[in-house]
Structure 1
Amino acid sequence: MSSNLNSNVSANLSAEDTVKEFFGGGAGAATTSDSDALSVSLANLWQTIHENRWGIILFMIAGCLAGVFKAVSETPVYQARLTMAVEPSSSRGGQSNVFDPFAYRFYETQYELLKSRSVAERVVDQLQLVERESVQSLLLSPSIFRSLTREFTRLTGISLVDEPKVPQTKIDLTAKEKEQKRRWLTGIIQSGVSVSGGEKTNLVQVSFRSINPDFAAEIANELVSAYIDLGLDSQLSRSQQTTQWLSQRIDGLKVSLDQAQSNLQRFLVEENLLDSSRSAQITTSELQTLNAEYNGARAKLDELAKRYGARHPKITEARAEMLAAKQRLDSKSRSISSSREKQVELARLERDVQVNQELYEAFLAKFKEADISASGSQVASARIVDRALPPSGPIYPQKNRIIVMWTLGGLMFGIMLAFLRQQLDSTFKTGRMLEEKLGLPLFGILQSLGKDTKAVERHYLDNKRSVFSESINHIRTGITYSNVDNPPHVMVVTSSVQSEGKTTLASNLALSYAQQGKTLLIDADLRRPRIKHIIETDTPYGLVDYVAGMVELSDCIRQDKDEKNLFILNSGTTPPNPLELLASDRFRQILQDLRGRFEHIIIDTAPVLPASDAVVLGRLSDALLMVVQSDKTTFHMARDAVKRLNASRVPVAGLILTQANIKKAHSSYYGGYYGYGAYAYVEDSAAKES
């Protein structure tokens, strides 16, 4: 018999360790490795999503519906695109094939010109948009209601609202209204233009966006035409301005030249002079002739002096000729010196004539070159390659993308709220969480039986093979083998606050222990007794009356009607001082006497935080069990209760998580444990079939 008992004990210990390790570990659970911690974190993440799956799905559906509404209510936008070739202008004699490292500036300039106000104003004027009454409907987005009705008509073919007919007639506006509308239309066209291209080729794409496809193509084509016309007009204007300026300068230079020539001519006539070049030639020739005559006369005098005396008549005649020649030469020299000032003035006048003549001829040549350049230059620098056509479909909204993005946004928002809720929720959800945060062993988990279940405090008696009953047996086993050498006989059941399920645990645990021997259930919650309401007895007396010495023990204790090994000791009369009564020596002696009468004693007492009864009873018991309600008891409440017990040197033997929602929780926490309970159902079914 001893060997059988040892083998059963070993089997129970092995099963107990396996179960505890599966759903949260026990007193001897080993620390997890890094990989296990990662697995636990991922499991917690999935658990959060699983617990809040319906809320997340609701947010995802709401996001999808919002995306559908946005996609349907958005006004379609069409984009018409035109392709054109743009090249820098070059004159007939220019070098167009020379590499220009700054050519990108030219294209950037053309892009800005295409989007300029001048081009947009030309489009407005050429298309006469100011006078067109239909332009309002082509540029302004319809209301959300009209967008929804149009989408409904497109999908079903049923017209809910007749589309208003837009008149094509012109409207009469005042000058001020026309100017305001022209500015408004110009701004609208400028904002709808986009230009791209020109990076590797000379092709440029010009696009215009509008809610009307035909109007988008019309504006795109007219925009490029206006741009080309603007270039032509600009170059023609520059040529005209250059020609006009050169013509004005030539006329002025012609007047200056005529005035200079007139001044020169008048000076020559007044001073009886020739022009500088002819006067210089004549003067030089006369001086040379006079000098030659003087030298000849002197040579003749020297020759005669050799043959004749000084008084010879030929000598006298030759000397007179030499003196006359010298006199003529000196007279001419003096005449030239006296006319030097006139020569300087003459040179100045001639220089004025020359300068005016050169300027006149230079500007005349430039004028002729400008005419030739204007007639032979390459004026058109842009040409249309592909004209814009009305687009077949809108570029916005991309309905599928909007719906997907809003759906994903709703999903992510729901997940974020779920995690935020988890972070703000400090209640206990699982046994693993309870063990990790409080650092105490977990004896078991009790599932929530729901509001429809009657007499939950006596559920063990109604169905001993149910999942709930198997959980009670599991807790009983954990308590028994928490101290194998000296199993606890007197056990106190308490909680942090009221309504956590301590009475339910105490009642069902007493029924479970009654299967092993004589068991006493004491209702020591003297402030709010509960057991007397769930177990009917034929005596009004109880623990208070017995401790006070008013009645005998036999008058207080009653045997359970449905379980012969279970005896009930109710609280009895409500005392004015429950703590003093439980801390009395009389109660200590009574509890010691009851130890000898019963194999197991279960005491249901008041919660720890509101009262100190559990501290007093914990010192007199062998084990104190603390009940924690799932999704209600916060970490701070349970921690304060444990601290209070530890401060009084009352250790907590183990924890019990009550009212756990198995359907809501993930199977990785409870599936293994409650799978064991489900096995009992299968066993019963097989037995019935046999």
Structure 2
Amino acid sequence: MNNIDSNHYGDSFSSEEFVDLRKYFSILWSYKFPIVTVGLIAGILAAGFMWLQPKQYQATSTISFASGRANIVQIREIVETGNENRDYLQTQAEVIRSRQLASRVVERLQLTKASFDAPPNAITSLFELNGPTKPASELDSDAAMQQADQAAQESSETVPVSDARTSELTPEEVVSANSAPTSALLVNMLIKNLSVELVRGTQLITISVVTHSSELSAEIANTLAEEYLASQLEQKRDVASEATDWLGERLDVLRTNLEESEQTLLAFQRAENLVDVDGVRGLAAQELNEVTTQLLVAKRQLQQVSTSYQLVRRRGDDTEALASLPQIQEQPTILALRQQVSDIRRQISDLQLRYGAKHPRMIAAVNELDSANNALADEITGIVSVIVGQYEAAQANVNALEAELQRVKDDFQELSRKEIQFEELKRQVEINRELYDTFLTRASETSQGTGFDKGNARITDPAVPPLEPLDNKFNLIVFAVVIGSVLLSSVFVLIYEMVQDSIRNPDDVELVLKQKMFGLIPLHKQNNTESNFSARSYFDETYFQYAESIKTLRTSLVLSHLDTPAKIIALTSSVPSEGKTTVSTSLAFALAQNERVLLIDADLRRPSVGKTFGFATKVPGLTNLIAGTHKATECVHRDDASGLDVMPSGPIPPDAQQLLNSLRFSNTVKLLSKQYDRIVIDTAPVNAVSDALMISRISDATLFVVKSGSTRRKVILRGIERLTQVGINIDGIILNQVDVNSRFARSEEFYGYYGGQYGYGQSTDDRSESLAAPRSVKLETV
């Protein structure tokens, strides 16, 4: 049975994909006649078009640019020629190509539209049904006159009476007013026929004009070159004149600025008494240095006395403590007094050994000691007063010098500010004087150089009327058109083939569906229309190709199952109307020629096998046998003409899926397989319902019918995927109704029965109550 892995079908296509150029060449080769025909038609049309093109003549004039400047006095800032630079030449080329020069040429030569129109030829003259046409100039004049009349009429209706004189315009004035659009058209036509190019490696510019007249081409080229040279001279004169006027105006402004800045500087010097700024600045700097030096000396002195002062302040009024200070001990007076006190104390010590305390000599010695101590204390107090006085004097001196230094600094800063302001005013005067001198020099140079108006360009090679017309590259263009049309047709063919979304040939079966090609059944037509083709056409000699294709299909089926013959064969398709019933019946006919074969109609949604053999609607069949209402001999009918046994569907059940999924159905098929060599089962489309999935699981072989050029690839792949997902191996694809005589195939999609609904409904015509026996077969109960 069909329980093989679903991935088996893709094993043969697991190799690396590559671009098969032979396939594309084969496609193009099949369309070779249409492609060649398109190329020939395009070439003929291109040749005719090129042959009808009028002749064109090209005249060229050359302008050279001098390497030196034209002005005697070089004024780079005023008139910069820059002709050494290639950008300058490119700029001049664009100037020559400008609309302004073209307009001057049109006015000078009085060009009209007829000057650029091609002369009539034999073909264009055929279309002049109303006689010869007027020249373009006359047409322009007539149109302008009509516009003048209309403008005059509108003016008379809209202009007030007081301004009526302004509306009284002559036709000639209106023609001049309306000539702007015509002139713009002529300028555009001239620029379109103009070519300006730089000659590489030189200082030359070529001016080429193409018209249908050799004399006119040369005249326009020379006139354009002359107008360019004239415009350059005019531009130089205008620039020099404008420069002179501008320099004069600027000189007046600069002179006024210079005078004002000088007056401002002088007034500032007077107001600030600045006679010699450098000398005053030197005196201020010297004074600042002197005060700074004095302050440093005073601070050192203050630092020296500050130590003694701090020690004295910490001892306070303690005489003994003050006397111990080095600054006091080192004083000679203090040393002498201290020695005197010491001597008196020794004397008192000696006297105490001999006299009492109240002895006159003891009393005199004690009084002398008190006098010496008092003198020592007074001397210490005097020395402390001196130290305090020195400190206060040093501090006062430092404070006075700091104040003086601050004053000197303020004066110096004020002087610096005045000096900066003075220098700024002085620089402004110098700048104004330099600008004034520069512009005065340039004005003098400009006035001296305006008298020399020679240009730096000249015509070195004037244009002459060409003797031969331009080469229109007839052969090259025709060849390019032929090649282009062939390539375009080939691309269109390839795109057309790529966008086809159906299966049309065996290559599509293998490359797109990844399935084995099992059989190909051709499409049969009569008089370019489909004939009344049916399964019985297998026995008609008229359709021998069809019969041979069915026999080939039979052979493929038999050879693919040599080891284990496929007794139960299920045929299905992705959507209805792909011809699976006809293929099933024809395959059963072919198998019945050598074996005992039973054809079962298992499409219980829309059965058609019974109608193929002409059975009545109520003839018992598959559903009766499964339901047990009839025996197998009553449900199987013999077709005497082919020897094929047929089991129609029988009455349509309310739930066909449940019936086919029942154990009774599978057992019935197994029992029938013992009585027949082959059983061919026609199933419902796999994308519509799941009937084919259940039938294929009990079959030995499953064949998938695809109608060529009809069903979309996505729909077919979806049907194949449904089968493979449940473990059903598809033996192969039967490509049906292949138009072997045409490269084109149908691409429309038809999906579903009865307007796209594949269900339980059945039309009244399909369920007719006719019990008439088939006209072409004789039924026998088995």
TM-score normalised by length of structure 1:
0.59
Superposition pairs for residues 433-448 of structure 1, below 5 Å?
A: 433-448=508-523
Task: Select 2:62's aligned residue among 84, 96, 101.
Answer: 84
Is 1:242–1:370's contact at 8 Å kept on the other side of the alignment?
no
Matched letter for residue 590 of structure 1 = T
2:44 counterpart of 1:44? no
Check 1:201–1:500 CA distance in 2 against 1; reply closer, same or farther (3 A cut): same
Is 1:76–1:395's contact at 8 Å kept on the other side of the alignment?
no
Is 1:624–1:653's contact at 8 Å kept on the other side of the alignment?
yes
2:432 counterpart of 1:454? no
Give, in whole Å, the separation in 1 of the partners of 2:136 and 2:532.
77
2:224 counterpart of 1:223? yes
Choose 113-122 or 650-659, whichever is displaced more. 113-122
Task: Select 1:165's aligned residue among 121, 128, 134.
Answer: 134
Alpha-carbon offset, residue 463 of structure 1? 3.6
Alpha-carbon offset, residue 524 of structure 1? 1.7
Task: Select 2:571's aligned residue among 466, 474, 493.
Answer: 493
2:712 counterpart of 1:657? no
Is 1:107–1:198's contact at 8 Å kept on the other side of the alignment?
no
2:506 counterpart of 1:431? yes
Number of the residue aligned with 1:608: 686
Number of the residue aligned with 2:113: 136
Superposition pairs for residues 393-404 of structure 1, below 5 Å?
A: 393=469
2:613 counterpart of 1:535? yes
Give, in whole Å, the separation in 1 of the partners of 2:36 and 2:43.
10
Task: Select 1:562's aligned residue among 626, 631, 641.
Answer: 641
Is 1:193–1:206's contact at 8 Å kept on the other side of the alignment?
yes
Superposed CA offset, 1:499-542 (max 9, x none): 11211211111111112122111222122122222223588332
Number of the residue aligned with 1:389: 465
Check 1:113–1:596 CA distance in 2 against 1; reply closer, same or farther (3 A cut): closer
Check 1:663–1:208 CA distance in 2 against 1; reply closer, same or farther (3 A cut): same
Number of the residue aligned with 1:283: none
Number of the residue aligned with 2:93: 111
Give, in whole Å, the separation in 1 of the partners of 2:29 and 2:43.
20
Matched letter for residue 83 of structure 1 = S
Matched letter for residue 205 of structure 1 = T
Number of the residue aligned with 2:281: none
Secondary structure class of the residue paired with 2:697: helix
Alpha-carbon offset, residue 90 of structure 1? 6.8
Task: Select 1:624's aligned residue among 691, 702, 720.
Answer: 702
Is 1:519–1:599's contact at 8 Å kept on the other side of the alignment?
yes
Check 1:522–1:221 CA distance in 2 against 1; reply closer, same or farther (3 A cut): same
Check 1:82–1:532 CA distance in 2 against 1; reply closer, same or farther (3 A cut): same
Give, in whole Å, the separation in 2 of the partners of 1:378 and 1:195.
24
Is 2:61–2:225's contact at 8 Å kept on the other side of the alignment?
no
Give, in whole Å, the separation in 1 of the partners of 2:728 and 2:689.
15
Task: Select 1:547's aligned residue among 626, 639, 657.
Answer: 626
Is 1:493–1:624's contact at 8 Å kept on the other side of the alignment?
yes
Alpha-carbon offset, residue 635 of structure 1? 3.1
Alpha-carbon offset, residue 663 of structure 1? 2.5
Give, in whole Å, the separation in 2 of the partners of 1:418 and 1:57.
12
Superposed CA offset, 1:610-655 (max 9, x none): 2222222223322222212222233332333233233434332332
Give, in whole Å, the separation in 1 of the partners of 2:532 and 2:182.
80
Give, in whole Å, the separation in 1 of the partners of 2:242 and 2:588.
114
Superposed CA offset, 1:260-279 (max 9, x none): xxxxxxxxxxxxxxxxxxxx
Number of the residue aligned with 1:152: 123
Unaligned runs of 5+ in 1: 1-25, 95-99, 130-134, 245-361, 667-690
Is 1:89–1:379's contact at 8 Å kept on the other side of the alignment?
no
Give, in whole Å, the separation in 1 of the partners of 2:506 and 2:87.
72
2:169 counterpart of 1:198? no
Unaligned runs of 5+ in 2: 1-7, 73-81, 142-171, 246-440, 745-782
Number of the residue aligned with 2:772: none
Is 1:90–1:378's contact at 8 Å kept on the other side of the alignment?
no
Superposed CA offset, 1:457-499 (max 9, x none): 2232224993332322222222223232211111111112211
Matched letter for residue 619 of structure 2 = P
Give, in whole Å, the separation in 1 of the partners of 2:690 and 2:180.
88
Is 2:505–2:708's contact at 8 Å kept on the other side of the alignment?
yes
Number of the residue aligned with 2:545: 467
Superposition pairs for residues 225-244 of structure 1, below 5 Å?
A: 225-230=226-231
Number of the residue aligned with 1:345: none
Secondary structure class of the residue paired with 2:530: coil
Is 1:495–1:502's contact at 8 Å kept on the other side of the alignment?
yes
Give, in whole Å, the separation in 1 of the partners of 2:500 and 2:671.
46
Give, in whole Å, the separation in 1 of the partners of 2:533 and 2:100.
89
2:127 counterpart of 1:127? no
2:502 counterpart of 1:524? no
Is 2:62–2:459's contact at 8 Å kept on the other side of the alignment?
yes
Residue identity over aligned pairs, in percent, reads 25
Alpha-carbon offset, residue 419 of structure 1? 4.2
Check 1:136–1:426 CA distance in 2 against 1; reply closer, same or farther (3 A cut): closer
Q: CA RMSD in A?
A: 5.0
Give, in whole Å, the separation in 2 of the partners of 1:579 and 1:91.
103
Is 2:535–2:582's contact at 8 Å kept on the other side of the alignment?
yes
Superposed CA offset, 1:102-140 (max 9, x none): 2756654653453356644543443245xxxxx13335x
Secondary structure class of the residue paired with 2:674: helix
Matched letter for residue 197 of structure 2 = S
Check 1:413–1:548 CA distance in 2 against 1; reply closer, same or farther (3 A cut): same
Give, in whole Å, the separation in 2 of the partners of 1:231 and 1:59.
55
Superposed CA offset, 1:655-685 (max 9, x none): 222222323359xxxxxxxxxxxxxxxxxxx
Give, in whole Å, the separation in 2 of the partners of 1:225 and 1:213.
19
Number of the residue aligned with 2:340: none
Check 1:500–1:43 CA distance in 2 against 1; reply closer, same or farther (3 A cut): farther
Is 2:708–2:737's contact at 8 Å kept on the other side of the alignment?
yes
Give, in whole Å, the separation in 2 of the partners of 1:494 and 1:519.
18
Give, in whole Å, the separation in 1 of the partners of 2:567 and 2:184.
96
Alpha-carbon offset, residue 602 of structure 1? 0.9
Number of the residue aligned with 2:84: 102
Number of equivalent positions: 497
Give, in whole Å, the separation in 1 of the partners of 2:470 and 2:591.
77
Check 1:544–1:242 CA distance in 2 against 1; reply closer, same or farther (3 A cut): closer
Secondary structure class of the residue paired with 2:20: helix
Is 1:88–1:106's contact at 8 Å kept on the other side of the alignment?
no
TM-score normalised by length of structure 2:
0.53
Number of the residue aligned with 1:646: 724
Is 1:526–1:606's contact at 8 Å kept on the other side of the alignment?
yes
Give, in whole Å, the separation in 2 of the partners of 1:93 and 1:637.
86
Check 1:64–1:559 CA distance in 2 against 1; reply closer, same or farther (3 A cut): farther
Give, in whole Å, the separation in 2 of the partners of 1:167 and 1:455.
71
Check 1:638–1:404 CA distance in 2 against 1; reply closer, same or farther (3 A cut): same
Give, in whole Å, the separation in 1 of the partners of 2:552 and 2:41.
44
Check 1:181–1:493 CA distance in 2 against 1; reply closer, same or farther (3 A cut): closer
Is 2:70–2:455's contact at 8 Å kept on the other side of the alignment?
no
Task: Select 1:573's aligned residue among 638, 647, 651.
Answer: 651
Is 1:47–1:665's contact at 8 Å kept on the other side of the alignment?
no
Is 2:578–2:736's contact at 8 Å kept on the other side of the alignment?
yes
